[in-house]
Chain A
Amino acid sequence: MTITVDQLRPAGGPLPLTVEQLRDIAGSVPDPEIPVLTLHDLGILRGVQITADGTVDVTLTPTYTGCPATAVIAADVETALLAAGVDRMKVRTVLSPAWTTDWMSTEGHRKLREYGIAPPGACQPPSNGPRPIGLRLSARCPRCGSSRTKEISRFGSTPCKSLWSCLACAEPFDSFKAI
């Protein structure tokens, strides 16, 4: 059951906030690695609920199982909720359903491009069977827009990015991996 804080807390207590407001607060926390993106843009905020005893229950999902930012993100959400007057909360990380870059918002794609990172393409289902040489679309250069680009390395500065180089404007750039 989802109820609002103002039904529970006595007058003079913390600011009454609705689930929608709490979701906005948690969702607007920036990603520590790519600060132009919010958790909402990334699609990693999976749920915000208020439990029967008034605890705010937030569920997040990691981008990668080993992503070091996961703990920082959880702490940032707690800090944001505390600042908004929430005194009882539980921030949990769940693996299922597994995060996919398809959950990233259109707004997130635009922000990434403006920040100089090529947004992820549509996710392919995991490959099956023999596939020694994969065929994939090139990432478009976020600076000049050319699709004449070359992948330098499948793995970049963070688990979620790969390293590319633009053959048109000769600039290197990061691309968010479709996963």
Chain B
Amino acid sequence: MTSPPVSGTNTASEPPVDQTALALYVLGLGDDALILAQRLGEWITRAPQIEEDIALGNIALDLLGQARTLLSYAGDIEGGGRDEDDLAFLRDEREFHNVQLVEIGNGDFAVTMARQLIFSAYQYELYSALLTSTDQTLSALAAKAVKEVDYHRDHAAQWVLRLGDGTPESHDRMQAGLDRVWPYVEEIFDSTDVVTALPGIAAEPAALRPVWAGYVENVIAEATLTLPTPKWRSRGGRTGYHSENLGHLLPEMQNLHRSHPGATW
């Protein structure tokens, strides 16, 4: 058996890479995955049916796996000795760089599925773009994660279709779910200084939007739902400005680690 080339670490990069920007970029992607994993985990034992309980747990687990890779990598780039646990459990609200979409409360099942459709469709385009990133760790993770996210996106799309094109009650609640989460869409596609500082490495969010919109709008139309036109939009998650939701999420996520520093399973 001949071994294919194995890689997974970024050893040397020829043009100088802005390490501060790279750490922040990776942290932002890792925080998106981490916070949404925590939110989805809240559904466990509470989902409408056992299969869905397992499905949401599985999606959360995939996201947690991606978060672990990203946070570990961010810690390595920082070079300050922080590992994945330090970054997940010992940072406060203003130090998190996730978009606000992933921190909002689960709401009912329709809100969760609306959020999942938006996020998974975005993450699918993000990882597809990162396949050609010149950063080897990011491209290696993207190749792995894009296949996982394909399942997440499909799962959310199937539910949005079923609920939107279901009974009058499920239709109304699915529409309300979309209306609830849509103000958080714009922020995902905002460009940042961090992205601009990393040509060839980071994926420009605005460039992901047309394909994202094509997919999501098609699902929404097929589900007989209406594309929301929100009167306000969120902003600032990438620079540490969050809704009050994150402040409620963090204590629950971090409590054990902070009460028992260094605890391991």
Contact = CB atoms under 8 A, between A and B. Distances in A.
Interface string B125-158: 0001000000011011101111110110011011
A64 B150 CA distance: 13
A97 B4 contact: yes
B3 A46 contact: yes
Interface stretch (A8-16, A80-88, A126-134, A140-148): A126-134
Interface in B205-233: 211, 214-215, 218-219, 222-223
A23 to B, nearest CB: 7
A131 B51 contact: no
B143 A65 contact: no
Contacts of B155: 154-155
A89 B124 CA distance: 37
A64 B140 contact: no
B54 A47 contact: no
Contacts of A51: none
Given A64-B65, A66-B66, A96-B143, A129 B215 contact: yes
A156 to B, nearest CB: 7
Nearest to A156: B54
B59 A94 contact: no
Contacts of A163: 51, 54
B4 A98 contact: no
A127 B125 CA distance: 11
A121 B8 CA distance: 27
Contact of B215 (A130, A133, A152, A157): A130
B61 interface: yes
The binding surface of chain A is classed by DSSP as loop
A132 B218 contact: yes
Interface residues of A, number: 37
A55 B147 CA distance: 34
A18 interface: no
Contacts of B146: 126
Interface in A93-119: 93-100
Contacts of B12: none
Contact of B150 (A59, A126, A129, A159): A126
A134 B154 contact: yes
A122 interface: no
B151 A154 contact: yes
Interface residues of B, number: 49
A131 B158 CA distance: 10
A25 interface: no
Contact of A65 (B6, B55, B145, B219): B145
A67 interface: yes
Nearest to A157: B54
A125 to B, nearest CB: 10
Contacts of B254: none
Contact of B62 (A64, A100, A134, A153): A64
A95 B215 contact: no
Contacts of A152: 51
Given A65-B62, A130-B214, A132-B222, A179 B148 contact: yes
B3 A66 contact: no
B170 interface: no
B69 interface: yes
Given A59-B6, A159-B58, A95 B161 contact: no
B7 interface: yes
A62 B7 CA distance: 13
Nearest to A160: B58
Interface in A19-58: 23, 46-47, 49
B65 A98 contact: no
Given A152-B51, A154-B154, A159-B58, 9 more contacts: A94-B140, A95-B137, A129-B214, A129-B215, A132-B157, A155-B155, A159-B61, A163-B51, A179-B151
